[in-house]
Amino acid sequence: MPLPADIRSDAIPRHIAVIMDGNGRWAKAQGWQRIKGHRAGADAVTRCVEACNDLGVEFLTLYAFSTENWQRPKSEVAALMTLLERFLKEQLSRMVADNVRLQAIGRLTDLPQSCQEELHRCIEATSQNTGVTMILALSYGSREEIVDGIRSLLRNVSEGHLDSAMITPDVVSKHLYTRYFPDPDLLIRTSGEMRLSNFLLWQCSYAEIVILQKFWPDFQKEDLYQSVRDYQKRQRRFGAV
């Protein structure tokens, strides 16, 4: 699809990260159970991926399930895992048709075995696709990621593969879950909340942030376009003048 006329093709963020917030509150506001909000949120994911493909965004990371989310009621967690598995099964043919490559980050072994198997099946089936790479953050927490990265570094040092004097920010980045992906250029959060919620704390050090005053199920392609317009108005100095 052609770009909206007022979006510059030479300044598209390479990597967009999204905190998809507000599914439960969206459902509650309409007198529905929270899971209905999560189902509607899955539809918003499809719209977001389509918009990124339209613009030529290379990477899209979606905060789908945090390590803290395991503390929710068991019935809601079980429903979310069922929804995740169903989403993957239903969307696989679409991902293949739309040239979307699927990846995932987080403590994935915490997921139910059936979810892990479906996730790996979709990752394998889309591995040769060359459009936007959709990265699902599942059982993900940034502090946990950094701790896992430190453990990996310590193992490398103790085994003699790495000298502690050689540890730099670039080396640390290579031990994080996101080592195969560039840092996000743009971070979008829905629901109007003004916090990172333990999401990509290291990687978003210099990301431009856009806060949307709407719940995730109401997210439309135009919201992605407008966020990119806002991004293109910013001056990214990375600490310089």
Active site residues: 21, 69
Distance from CA of residue 87 to its chain's centroid? Answer: 15
Task: Tell me the backbone φ, ψ of residue 138, rounded to 5 degrees.
Answer: -125, 130
Q: Three-state DSSP class for 209?
A: strand
Decide if 3 contacts 9 (C-beta within 8 A): yes
Residue 137 contacts by C-beta under 8 Å, 6 or more apart in sequence? 61, 62, 63, 64, 65, 66, 104, 105, 106, 199, 200
Report CA-CA distances (Å) from 226 to 17, 68, 187, 229: 15, 30, 13, 5
Decide if 185 contacts 208 (C-beta within 8 A): yes
